[in-house]
Amino acid sequence: MRKSAPKIRFQKVNLITIALLFVLILAGGIVRSTGSGMGCPDWPKCFGRYIPPVNSSELPKDYKQKYIAGRLAKNQRFAKTLDLFGYADLARRIREDKSILVPEEFNAAKTWTEYINRLIGATSGFFLLLSAIFSFSYRGENKLIPFLSILNVILVGYQAWLGSIVVSTNLVPLIVTIHMLLALAILTLSITTYHLAKVHGKQKRNTSPIAHVVTLFALIISIAQIVFGTEVREKIDSVASRLQGGYRDAWITNAGAIFYQHRNVAVLVLLINVLLYGIIRGNFNKHSIQQQLMSFTFLIIMLQIVTGILLSYWSLPPIAQAAHIILASLIFGAQFYLMLNLYRSVNMQEAKL
């Protein structure tokens, strides 16, 4: 079936959106690893400007007191919301957090790192909106595509608001983890709509149930590993703060059991993907998208192991931290797309990417 120009346009924009979301995750990893999250103390502007300053002479007058007061007010409102939903302990922690009373010293490099991250986020949001608009070319044939596309726009709006809370609460651990998981959810919806558009009108036949089960398990383990990794980073942030940024080689040893849990789950990720690779080889030929995705996943897993070793034995170099985050996201994305492609077409020709 020949696709119309609007449908082709949707697929191209959707694919660009997926690429931008991965770039955004990488940018977020760079922000986190360089400690640039507070580079812009306000949101959505940066030091009250759409184009941030490059030196301290451009800063607003009394900006430290102004932004501390604004953050305190926002945190109080957020704490009240948490109370309504039963998260009294977290609300209390936010109210009692004295670190937000300590003004962030201006650092041009950190300010522009955070600003570029926000620009990439705004660009991603724009393309998600375009995807939602163009998705209506499928409204008469597959209503799920426009529904998921619109849902994604709503989620990215919530993600932007949550990003402002992350900044305002000075990177409260639980909020940071939710922020990361929501980014994966947005990525998941974009990959799903792309897949639905690609296979629209094609007949398919499922493979053996074991392939679906193992792929789903691998995906769940990858998500758990990302959550563990986020918690490891949160623990290390706490250790680094306690040691006032010094004794960097002692950060991991002081991180406690969560680091070893993260490392152990990494072994499980490798083993489950070895099993999955064998299943995929037995069900699909070497030129299929399924085997291509598994080969890509294994390559990324190997690179992930390398970055993990660098983090463990080279005192957490920032470039390895950012690489570790984006590689984990790529593994997740590849596994999810594989799960969507676990079928053979009726004529046994494999679906193309």
Instruction: Write the pLDDT tens digit of every residue in 215-249.
Output: 999 999 999 999 888 888 777 777 776 776 666 77
Report whether 81 contacts 97 (CB < 8 A): no
pLDDT mean over 12-37: 92
Q: Strands 343-344 and 205-206, how do they pair?
A: antiparallel
Q: Are residues 223 and 182 in the same domain?
A: no
* b/e per residue 181-205 (b: at least 16 CB within 10 A): ebbbebbbbbbbbbbbbbbeeeeee
Buried b (16+ CB within 10 A) or exposed e, 28-50: bbbbbbbbbbbbbbbbeebbeee
Question: 205: which strand partners?
Answer: 344
- Of the residues 168, 201, 234, the one at which a domain ends: 201
Note whether 54 and 23 are same-domain residues.
yes
CB 84 within 8 A of CB 100: no
- Residue 118 shares a structural domain with residue 130: yes
Q: Is the pLDDT score of 43 beyond 90?
A: no
For residue 353, pLDDT over 70 is answered with: no
The last residue of one of the domains, among 166, 201, 236, is: 201
Res. 116 pLDDT band, cuts 50 70 90: very high
Which among 7-21, 88-102, 245-259 has the top mean pLDDT?
7-21
Please give the mean pLDDT across all residues of the chain: 86
User: Is residue 179 located within the same domain as residue 32?
Assistant: yes
What one-character-per-residue DSSP string does 85-153 give? Answer: TT-HHHHHHHHH-GGGGSPPPP-HHHHHHHHHHHHHHHHHHHHHHHHHHHGGGGTTT-THHHHHHHHHH
Two structure tokens written together for 147: 């529904």
Give the closest residue to 237 by CA, choosing from 91, 38, 79.
38
**Do residues 233 and 295 both lie within one domain?**
yes
Same-domain pairing of 195 and 214? no
pLDDT of residue 351: 41
- From 201, 230, 264, the end of a domain falls on 201
Contacts of residue 308, defined as CB under 8 A and 6 or more positions apart, other chains included, come to: 263, 266, 324
Place of tokens 């305190």: 72
Query: Residue 324's beta-bridge partner residues?
Result: none
Residues 40, 115 within the same domain: yes
Q: Is the pLDDT of residue 5 over 70?
A: yes
Same domain, 177 and 325: no
Structural domain count, the chain = 2
Amino acid at site 165 = I
- Residue percentage of the chain with pLDDT more than 70: 91
Alpha-carbon span 65 to 142, nearest angstrom: 53
Same structural domain for residues 77 and 161? yes
Per-position DSSP letters for 324-337, written without gaps between them: HHHHHHHHHHHHHH
Q: CB neighbours (10 Å) of residue 173?
A: 17
User: Helix (H, G, I), strand (E, B), or coil: what is residue 5?
Assistant: helix
Residue 137: is its pLDDT beyond 90? yes
Phi and psi at residue 343, to the nearest 5°:
-155, 165
Q: What domain range includes position 86?
A: 1-201
Q: Is the pLDDT of residue 1 over 60?
A: no
The pLDDT tens digits for 318-338 are 898 899 999 999 999 999 999
pTM of the full predicted structure? 0.87
pLDDT at 336: 96
Same domain, residue pair 143 and 225: no
> What pLDDT was estimated at residue 161?
85
117 and 94 in a common domain: yes
Residue 131 has pLDDT above 60, yes or no: yes
Look at residue 251 in the predicted model and tell me its pLDDT: 77
pLDDT digits (tens, 9 = 90+) for 263-308: 888 999 999 999 999 999 888 888 889 999 999 999 999 999 999 8
Q: Residue 204 — very low, low, confident or very high, per pLDDT cuts 50/70/90?
A: low
My answer on whether 69 and 130 are in the same domain is yes
